[in-house]
Amino acid sequence: MEATLRGRAHKYGKNVDTDVIIPGKYCNITEQAELGKHALEGLDPDYCGRMKPGDIIVADTNFGCGSSREVAPIAIKGSGTSAVIAKSFARIFYRNALNIGLPIFESPEAVDGIEAGDEIELEPASGIVRNLTRGTQYRAAEFPPFMRSLIDAGGLVPYVEARLAESS
């Protein structure tokens, strides 16, 4: 994972569910980049047209709730979005995001201090969230050591591949 992530904030409210992150009609798409063309289509149809690679989703509580769609974080990652900051994540989305290497950060204070369009800088290793537009800084919740290993590897598959390579 990159040492620093930087992009503009796209801000959303509470309970952004997987049905609006990637509508069901696209769930049979297997290519990450193709899924990414439809990210947030059910919530914000212009998201993919406005966002630039590296931009960051900022949301209130319970981001990724609803049905267990592994393709939801894949679509976000495929859109070029670099990370998601939320007050909280639905647990299944949380695990799916980490498993596919999508950086996610829980920080209620950061969410409250970020507005749409603000320039954000994230340091995944330290959990530091900087709002460059407003000159403020926050800290995201830390990950347990094993989850940190998954994140550092880029997701579950790269983590397992590295472990298998070490043991052979």
pTM of the model: 0.93
Q: Check if the beta carbon of residue 119 is closer than 8 Å to that of residue 133.
A: yes
Question: Which residues have a Cβ under 8 Å from the Cβ of 124 and sit 6 or more positions away?
Answer: 1, 2, 3, 5, 83, 103, 151
Please, what sign has the CA dihedral across residues 28, 11, 17, 109? positive
Q: Where are the domains of the chain?
A: 5-167
pLDDT, one tens digit for every residue, the chain (168 residues)? 568 999 999 999 999 999 999 999 999 999 999 999 999 999 999 999 999 999 999 999 999 999 888 999 999 999 999 999 999 999 999 999 999 999 999 999 999 999 999 999 999 888 999 999 999 999 999 888 888 888 888 899 999 999 999 988
Tell me the residue ranges of DSSP E strands in the chain.
Answer: 5-12, 56-59, 83-86, 104-106, 119-123, 128-131, 136-139
pLDDT value, residue 73: 97
Q: Check if the beta carbon of residue 37 is closer than 8 Å to that of residue 48.
A: yes
Which fold is adopted by the domain 5-167? Aconitase; domain 4 (3.20.19)
